[in-house]
Structure formats: C-alpha cells, structure tokens
Chain A
Amino acid sequence: MKKILILIILTLFAQNIFADENLDKKAREINKKIRCVVCQSQSIDDSDSLLARDLRVLIKDKLKEGKNEKEIIDFLVERYGEFILLKPRFNTKTYFLWLAPIIIILSGLFLIKGIFKKN
C-alpha cells in the first residue's frame, strides 16, 4: 500500500514538472517573437529591461490562465501595436512592408532586362 502511495505521489510530482517545463518552453517561444519596446532591437527573451521582465511574467501568467499564443499576441498588439512583433503579421497595415522588397527586386530585374535589351 505504501509503495503504491509513493508511486502515485511521484507520478503527480513528475506530471507537474513536465507541465511546468512545457509551459516554460511555450512561454520562451512567444518571448522570442516579442520586441522589447525599450531596447527595440532585442526580443524580450534577450532583454533584461524592466518592461521585458514584466512582459515575460505576463506571458507566462496568460499561458497558465489557458490563453493561447494568438490571444496573447493579440493582447500585446492591441496595446503596443504591430511594432511589438519582431516579425510583423501580414495584414492591411503591413502589406507594403512585406511586398516592397518583392516590388523593388522585380522593378530592378525589369530595369536590368531593359538595359540589356537596348544594348
């Protein structure tokens, strides 16, 4: 009886550890996508600023509450704008940002083609 009880306790304990590890892993995945708005070129995962630390705690708390990545990112974008994402999403506000390089490269190629044709 004693052995079974110890086994149950150990199983529950192990379960908790793995759950915490998964939560930490998920939190770090999100942290890496969020820009530290104080230092700007770093993610909150890399930054040690006061705000980055608070955001890391907030993200972990939201995951514990059962919120998913999209809900957490939406929450932050609502408050800080798309700028808080290191990789902005493709939407009506950011389409030019994503399409501009393609347009520039294509224009360049057409220009080069035109020059060669003339020559």
Chain B
Amino acid sequence: MKYIGLIITTAFIFVCLFFALNKKEQTLKSPLLNKPIPEINLDGLVEDDKLNNNNFKNEVILVNFFASWCVPCIVEHDFLFELKKQKPIKIYGINYKDNIKNLKVWLVKLGNPYSKIGIDKTGITGINWGVNGIPESFLIDKNGIIKHKINGVIDEKQIKILLSKIELLEK
C-alpha cells in the first residue's frame, strides 16, 4: 500500500512507452487539406500549354509531383498507368527541378500517363504546395479543393484508397 503511487506512475510510464514504440509511423496531415489549391502558374512541357489554376475546374484531378532523377517515381509510374486503366482520371504532372532533356527521354522510355505537365524549375511551386519530397500526390475535387494527399509512391494499396475517394468525389 505504501508504494501504490510509485507503482501506478511506473505502470503509466510503461504503458505510454509501449504505445509510443508500437505506434506505426505516420505522416503528418497536410495543412492544405480541404483548402483550395495554392497558386500555380507553370510553363508546360508542350509549348503554350501552361498549367495554372484555371485547369482545376469541374473535374476530379490527381496532381503528381515527380522527376526523372527520382528513383521511386520510376516504381510509381506503372501504378499511375494502372490507376488510369481502372479509372480514367486526369493526372497532371508537376515536374520538380528536373532537366527537360532527361524528362523527355524518361517519358519516351516509360510512357506518359499525364494529361498535362507543368515544369517547376525552381521548386517554388513545390514549396507552395507543401511538398516534402517527391513523389507526392494530391487529389483535387471538382471545386479545386485538395481532398487527399499521398506522401510517397502510389502503389496498389494507395490505388484502392484513391479509387474509393474518387468515387465519392465524383458523386
């Protein structure tokens, strides 16, 4: 009875430690979720085909930050085609701090799943969108609101999540 306080405190600390150590690694929620897309005004890969805020109207769009120098982006590329096969959604690519020559070669070699590609030469658009590291993707609703963010590669599991979210947003 004498040490009951000490025992309770120690047990509490151990329970906290147990939960803290067993917690699955979580990525922080983007503060941009449920907010309108940040300003975007990028030159396109194709001349005169700029990517700007006007391109985000009346349809659900996936925005994918990628680069030819990014190894995980190669892995993700096939999954983007898979997503389009399962749901013909528009995917806008934002090419992050890349070499245009390398990008063109990369797209010829791996194929082009993007409806539009904007060139973010300086990385400022990446910062505007709160990008930590590529690949990162954002699901945008018909009103230009960010509804979902994926940090890292879009894989089979993410495709399932995306498909259910797209279905909801298209209703």
Chain A contacts to B: CB under 8 angstroms:
37-38, 50-51, 54-55, 58, 77-81, 83, 108, 111, 114-115, 118-119
Known: A78-B31, A81-B30, A115-B6. A50 touches B123 (CB 8 A): yes
Contact between A55 and B5 (Cβ–Cβ < 8 Å)?
no
Contact check, B31 vs A54: say whether CB atoms are below 8 A apart.
no
Q: B136: shortest Cβ distance to chain A, in Å?
A: 11
| Complex: A78 Cα to B39 Cα, angstroms | 13
CA distance A37 to B27 in the complex (A): 11
Residue contact B127 to A54, C-beta cutoff 8 Å:
yes
Once the chains bind, are A81 and B123 in contact (CB under 8 Å)? no
Smallest distance from the beta carbon of A79 to chain B beta carbons, Å?
A: 4
By a CB distance below 8 angstroms, the chain A residues around B128 are: 79
**Interface presence of B152 (CB below 8 A):** no
Within 8 A of A (CB), among B1-59: 2, 5-6, 9, 28-32, 38
Chain B, interface residues (CB within 8 Å), range = 20 to 34
B95 to chain A, nearest CB (A): 14
Asked if B9 contacts A111 (CB within 8 A), the reply is yes
Would you list which residues of chain B between 77 and 133 have a CB under 8 Å from chain A?
Answer: 97, 122-124, 126-133
A55 to B29 alpha-carbon distance, docked (Å): 20
Closest B residue to A81 using CB positions: B31
What is the chain B residue whose CB lies nearest that of A80?
A: B130
Chain B: residues with CB nearer than 8 A to chain A? 2, 5-6, 9, 28-32, 38, 97, 122-124, 126-133
Closest beta carbon of chain B to A67's beta carbon, Å: 14
**Contact of A79 (CB < 8 Å), options: B5, B9, B123, B129:** B129
- B92 to nearest A CB, angstroms? 19
Q: Are B127 and A58 in contact (CB under 8 A)?
A: yes
In the complex, are the beta carbons of B97 and A77 less than 8 A apart?
Answer: no
How far is it, in angstroms, between the C-alpha of A50 and the C-alpha of B131 when the chains are bound? 12
13 residue pairs from A and B, CB less than 8 Å apart:
A51-B123, A54-B122, A78-B31, A79-B31, A79-B32, A79-B38, A79-B129, A80-B130, A80-B132, A81-B28, A83-B28, A115-B6, A119-B2
Nearest A-chain residue to B133, judged by Cβ: A38
Q: Which residue of A lies closest to B1 (CB)?
A: A118
Contact B5 A115 (CB under 8 A): yes
* A108 contact set on B, CB distance < 8 A: 9
Determine if B5 and A77 form an interchain contact, defined as CB atoms under 8 angstroms apart: no
